[in-house]
Amino acid sequence: MTVSDTSRLVLDEPYARPILVDGARDLASITDRVCGVVERPTPPRAWYVAITITSCLTLMLFAMVGYLIATGVGVWGNNSPAFWGWDIVNFVFWVGIAHAGTLISAILFLLRQKWRTSINRAAEAMTLFAVCCAGLYPAVHVGRVWVAYWLFPVPNQMQMWPNFRSPLLWDVFAVSTYATVSLLFWYMGLLPDLATLRDRATSGLKRGLYGFFALGWCGSARHWQRFERAYLILAALATPLVLSVHSVVSFDFAVSQVPGWHTTIFPPYFVAGAIFSGFGMVVTTMVPARELFGLKELITLRHLENMNKVILATGSIVGLAYATEFFIAWYGGNPYERFVFLNRALGPYWWAYWLMIFCNVVAPQFLWIKKIRTNLLFMFVISIFVNIGMWLERFVIVVTSLTRDYIPSSWGYFKPTAVDVCTFVGTIGLFLTLFLLFCRFLPMVAIAEVKTILPAAHGHGAHGKHGGEGRPGREVSHG
């Protein structure tokens, strides 16, 4: 019986867990497989096609931002009474996408979940790319981009100081803190693998670049001890950020007096939705990436199935939040709250609300079925629905409450402009361009961490290909 047959047999056993690393993999072959993606002379042809398309979208984003700065925010569809439009909708959407990386990396690391090892690197990278897309909107939606530094507590020529009671300032501190800790956490985990690429480099330029960013890593016992201690501290720091960042973003709405926003359910509701959309984006990107770069033996169906289970759980929580909102609107006896929620379901934006319900509540329920949960096509389609649904959720929350305010004479209907649409599509291009560059020039899978879950890491096999002087299961990189 071949190894692949054995893997399939394990998958079919009702009481057996699917394996985390498929195929006959030892420590050296793990290194060769992951580093081979970076070291190959040319990437697959599909990579060139994808990077061409996403680069064009990114250029369109820069063009739209330049046009916005030169002309003013009037080119957006924001108008009375919908002074918040696609800018805040997309900001909250991208911040939510950024949550999966920190959850997979920090919380699952603290809980000692071994299945995180093959997907944490890519998820962490997507966190950083999503934060870049999210941070763009607060900078440009203030209108005067050239004085955006007024948001920070630094002296300026006008002797004006930030209003620390403003939710806009809360977002600045929350998102910047989240981005800083996520960047440190991602870069810390990269150090051993960068040293591996340095030692395997065939050109002086690559050896110099990877060596510079590896910070002199040599794989000694002292390096590993300090690395693991620092990694644990960063994981402990990043864990509360999963709850705090999107809770602070939800305060943008919850602290206002606008019907449909002024509610205490928003912080946990937004956090669950952020994890939901973040895992959906990880599945959306990892399914084609593992096929394109030949990493199916490292990013197995068990990893994807576990992420689908998280999507199912958080999607159910989001569905419960939707029902709770309607119940509280009825039970609270506030006529304005009742009207807002009935207007969401039956008003002019009914199509967005019911499409949101289908994408976020109905579609994930198919993941209860194991055959669908482990089918690449079905899970990819469902993850696309999740991403669409979570964007629609932010659209429904922002627009329906603003366009139907207290005074009927001020009611309006929000329509995005072409600049709105092109800017958002451009951020998708920026996100995918950064992800494609990451897949090409950095190891997608954490080599050192994957080795710790192999049988050879526990004394049943040889050490890494450079010798056995390092910690078990981790390749030693000599300086």
* pLDDT value at residue 38: 80
* pLDDT value at residue 135: 85
List all residues 6 or more positions away from 472 whose beta carbon is below 8 Å from its beta carbon: 452, 457, 458, 459, 463
- For residue 320, is pLDDT > 80? yes
Helix axes 335-346, 301-331, angle to 10 degrees: 130
pLDDT digits (tens, 9 = 90+) for 236-285: 888 888 888 888 888 888 888 888 888 888 888 888 888 888 888 889 98
Q: pTM of the prediction?
A: 0.84
Average pLDDT of the residues of the chain? 82
Rounded to a whole number, what is the distance in angstroms from the first to the last CA of the chain? 42
Domains of the chain: 44-458 (1.20.1630.10)
- For residue 11, is pLDDT > 60? no
Q: Exposed (0-12), middle (13-18) or buried (19+): which is 66, by Cβ within 10 Å? A: exposed
pLDDT digits (tens, 9 = 90+) for 389-411: 999 999 999 888 888 877 787 78
* pLDDT value at residue 466: 38
Determine the 3-state secondary structure of 463 from DSSP: coil
* pLDDT value at residue 455: 64
- For residue 286, is pLDDT > 80? yes
- For residue 69, is pLDDT > 80? yes
- For residue 235, is pLDDT > 60? yes
Determine the 3-state secondary structure of 365 from DSSP: helix
Query: Per-residue pLDDT averaged across 211-240, rounded?
Result: 86
- For residue 295, is pLDDT > 90? no
Supply φ then ψ for residue 82, to 5 degrees.
Answer: -90, 75
Residues 465/36, Cβ–Cβ less than 8 Å: no
- For residue 453, is pLDDT > 60? yes
The pLDDT confidence band at residue 1, using thresholds 50, 70 and 90, is very low
